[in-house]
Structure 1
Amino acid sequence: MRRYAKPIVVADDLNLLRGQTTGVVTLPRHLDWSGAADYDLDSPGRMVDLYRTVLIEATKPDDLHALLDRAVLTGLWPSIWLPPELRRAWEQRFPELRRAASEAPAA
């Protein structure tokens, strides 16, 4: 039996990631249909949830560019859970993310 494979979307350039870094963000329905689409970015746990959701559910690079921030992504990268194939695609395109993960202190 063949599994449905969701397409992997990666940003065009990390410098294009200029999303909001404070306050509340409401994700569009195509990214979060859970009914809890409001993310308070001043809460570290909700920030991680938003980044994981956007990275996994993005359907086009514009989703990533509008909702993620380069500095926040780089800081969260070592500790955020992502499907291995998604993490690999991002790290192949942006080796600096791989370095950030390898330089993070062990938990």
Structure 2
Amino acid sequence: MVGPEHGMVDLPLHIARSALRTLHLDLPRQRMNPYRTVLAEGMRDGLRHFLNRDILRELWPVLHKIIRRAVKDLREEALPELRP
């Protein structure tokens, strides 16, 4: 993963379908968004191109919880019998 560490990131439409596709990696509140989006929607090339290994390691303690919760919600929406 050799994605950018600083500056602006423009995510392509096939990864970020919302109007918010340009994000600033130097702003802590915006830094999490492209990583969450790329992990959820990106393919292997997107992961390599847009994610930076050091930033991913820094964000992972929070990101993995968000992703796990989102996957759980999707799974339970598709299969309501899995709800506790």
TM range (shorter): 0.7 to 0.9
Per-residue displacement from partner, 1:18-38 (whole Å, max 9, x unpaired)?
Answer: 001111111000011111100
What letter matches 2:44 in structure 1? P
Aligned residue pairs, count? 69
The answer to whether the aligner puts 1:66 opposite 2:53 as a matched pair is: no
Deviation, structure 1 residue 72: 0.6
What letter matches 1:51 in structure 2? Y
Percent of aligned pairs with the same amino acid: 35
| Residue in structure 2 matched with residue 83 of structure 1 by the alignment | 68
| Residue in structure 1 matched with residue 25 of structure 2 by the alignment | 41
Query: Which blocks of at least 5 consecutive residues in structure 1 are unaligned?
Result: 1-16, 87-107
Secondary structure of the corresponding residue to residue 55 of structure 2: helix
What letter matches 2:31 in structure 1? M
Q: Which runs of 4+ in 1 moved over 2 A?
A: 83-86
TM-score (norm 2): 0.76
| Residue in structure 2 matched with residue 25 of structure 1 by the alignment | 9
